[in-house]
């Protein structure tokens, strides 16, 4: 068996011990005689798996008791519609901060449900920074303020928490959830697809403050009404059971590593290896403002894009895959989520140096 270093932006690499445990438990979970995939979501076995995943997430992220944790379907793109449907609460507009491709998608979808006020935008700088809070034009009457805490494509990340006063802060954290400690209490709602940092595709995590739910628009599908899901422990419809099980194993792995503070150290170390090299060479470059650089997704370009193909081919030959940048920006992108070991980033930088030496 050979495992590659997988730099995919998502679905992304999972911790190897998690995959091994899942393989061991595949045919017979804890003496139940069944695979988790075959279990009733209402049976005692799966209820225990679900409860443990939720309690580990609460413990790791320090989720206050007045927040619900929901395991839903529809992905972050689904949430782009589901959030306004649930959170408008009789208001007619919401504030959005535009930091790149994922913000733009959220804005476009929200416009189907409400008036969108773009409170700040990084467009003038080609989405290479996070707009400073002092330049945001927030509306006191907005239903919520929406941000994308880590732009997976542009590699731009918030390293601070916006202050939105009494207006709930909503964050799409798909690509940096659980990569470091955050103060959940500063947010009204956090959502994210699992397939970047916490598990397989198919489960969407929503963490929402109690007082914000229960006023969904009448058109809201029941399966996407946070109140109905909260009242039914995320089992109003059949939840993505296997994805929740794997996410639970990932949470256990994170806990064994030392929790989110340890994840942050690990992630800072990896990002530094890559950014330090990018800053030291003229052969590759990263366009993002230093203070806003993502610890999770590192886009970079070769000085001569005609070498892109050779670079990717060589990387593949060295057991490093999925380094091609998103089609909207070109170049390269290394996604280095929690599960990427330091050795993977070191191998990448060693290869980049070697490539520079032979082509520079």
Ligand X SMILES: *Cc1c(COP(=O)(O)O)cnc(C)c1O
Positions marked active-site: 102, 172, 196
Contacts of 135 (CB under 8 A, 6+ apart): 120
335 binds ligand X (CB under 6 A): no
Using the minimum distance from each CB to ligand X, give the nearer residue, 121 or 152.
152
Going by the annotation, the residues of the binding site for pyridoxal 5'-phosphate are 102, 152, 172, 195, 237-238
- By CB under 6 A, which span of 167-175, 180-188, 273-281, 323-331 interacts with ligand X? 167-175
Task: Confirm or reject binding of residue 202 to ligand X (CB under 6 A).
Answer: no
The closest of 226, 227, 223 to 237, measured between CA atoms, is 223
Task: Pick the piece of the chain touching ligand X (CB under 6 A) from 49-57, 130-138, 172-180, 341-349.
Answer: 172-180
CB of 174 to ligand X, least distance (A): 4
d(CA 96, CA 104): 9
The CA radius of gyration of the chain, in Å to the nearest whole number, is: 21
Q: Which is nearer to ligand X, 88 or 148 (CB)?
A: 148
* Least distance to ligand X, CB of residue 195, Å: 6
Binding-site members are: 42, 102, 152, 172, 195, 237-238
Instruction: Report if residue 119 touches ligand X, rule: CB under 6 A.
Output: no
Q: Is 148 in the site for ligand X (CB under 6 A)?
A: yes
Which residue, 10 or 199, is less far from ligand X as judged by CB? 10
Cβ contacts of residue 58 below 8 Å, gap of 6+?
69
Q: Which residues contact 44 (CB under 8 A, 6 or more apart)?
A: none
Question: Which CB sits closer to ligand X, 199 or 352?
Answer: 199
Residue 215 · residue 90 · CB < 8 Å: yes
- Single out the segment in contact with ligand X by CB under 6 A; choices: 45-53, 71-79, 207-215, 347-355: 71-79
What phi and psi values does residue 152 have, to the nearest 5 degrees? -60, -30
Q: Rank residues 197 and 220 by Cβ distance to ligand X and give the closer one.
A: 197
Pick between residue 198 and residue 332 the one whose CB is nearest to ligand X. Answer: 198
Where in 72-111 is the site for ligand X (CB under 6 A)?
A: 75-77, 102
- Report if residue 152 touches ligand X, rule: CB under 6 A: yes
Is there binding between residue 175 and ligand X (CB under 6 A)? yes
Quote the least distance from Cβ 14 to ligand X, whole Å: 16
Does 154 contact ligand X by CB under 6 A? no
Q: What angle do CA 179, 184, 188 make, to 5 degrees?
A: 125
Please, what is the minimum distance in Å from the beta carbon of residue 270 to ligand X?
Answer: 18
Contact pick of 6, 174, 197, 335 for ligand X (by CB under 6 A): 174
Which is nearer to ligand X, 148 or 244 (by Cβ)?
148
Q: Decide: is 138 part of the binding site for ligand X (CB under 6 A).
A: no
* Site for ligand X contains 172 (CB under 6 A): yes
* Size of interface with ligand X, in residues (CB under 6 A): 12
Residue from 5, 6, 8, 10 touching ligand X (CB under 6 A): that is 10
CB of 294 to ligand X, least distance (A): 11
- Can you give 156-177 as a three-state secondary structure string? EECCCCCCCCCCCEEEECCCCC
Rounded to whole angstroms, the Cα distance separating 360 from 356 reads 5
Q: How far is the CB of 127 from ligand X (least distance, A)?
A: 13
CB of 105 to ligand X, least distance (A): 7
Residues interacting with ligand X, by CB under 6 A? 10, 75-77, 102, 148, 152, 172, 174-175, 193, 196
């Amino acid at each position: 068996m050979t495992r590659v270093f997988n730099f995919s932006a998502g679905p992304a690499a999972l911790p190897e011990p998690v995959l091994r445990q899942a393989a061991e438990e595949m045919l017979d979970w804890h003496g139940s005689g069944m695979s988790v995939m075959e279990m009733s979501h209402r049976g005692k076995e799966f209820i225990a798996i679900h409860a443990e995943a939720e309690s580990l997430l609460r413990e790791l992220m320090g989720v206050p008791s007045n927040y619900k944790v929901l395991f839903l379907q529809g992905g972050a793109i689904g949430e782009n519609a589901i959030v306004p449907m649930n959170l408008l609460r009789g208001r007619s507009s919401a504030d959005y901060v535009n930091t790149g491709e994922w913000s733009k998608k959220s804005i476009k979808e929200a416009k189907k449900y409400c008036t969108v006020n773009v409170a700040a935008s990084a467009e003038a700088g080609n989405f290479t920074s996070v707009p400073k809070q002092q330049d945001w034009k927030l509306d006191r009457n907005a239903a919520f303020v929406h941000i994308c805490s880590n732009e997976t494509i542009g590699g731009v990340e918030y390293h601070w928490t916006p202050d939105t006063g009494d207006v709930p802060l909503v964050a799409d954290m798909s690509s940096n959830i659980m990569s470091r400690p955050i103060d959940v209490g500063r947010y009204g709602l956090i959502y994210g697809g699992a397939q970047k940092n916490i598990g397989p595709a198919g489960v969407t995590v929503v963490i929402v403050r109690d007082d914000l739910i229960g006023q969904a628009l009448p058109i809201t599908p029941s399966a996407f009404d946070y109140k109905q899901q909260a009242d039914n422990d995320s089992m109003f419809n059949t939840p993505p059971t296997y994805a929740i099980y794997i996410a639970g194993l990932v949470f256990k792995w994170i806990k064994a590593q030392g929790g989110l503070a340890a994840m942050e150290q690990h992630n800072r170390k990896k990002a530094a290896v890559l950014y330090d090299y990018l800053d030291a060479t003229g052969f590759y470059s990263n366009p993002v403002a230093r203070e806003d650089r993502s610890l999770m997704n590192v886009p970079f370009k070769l000085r001569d894009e005609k070498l892109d193909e050779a670079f990717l081919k060589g990387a593949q030959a060295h057991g490093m895959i999925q380094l091609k940048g998103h089609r909207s920006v070109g170049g390269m992108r290394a996604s280095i989520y929690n599960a990427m070991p330091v050795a993977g980033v070191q191998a990448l930088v060693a290869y980049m140096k070697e490539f520079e030496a032979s082509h520079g």
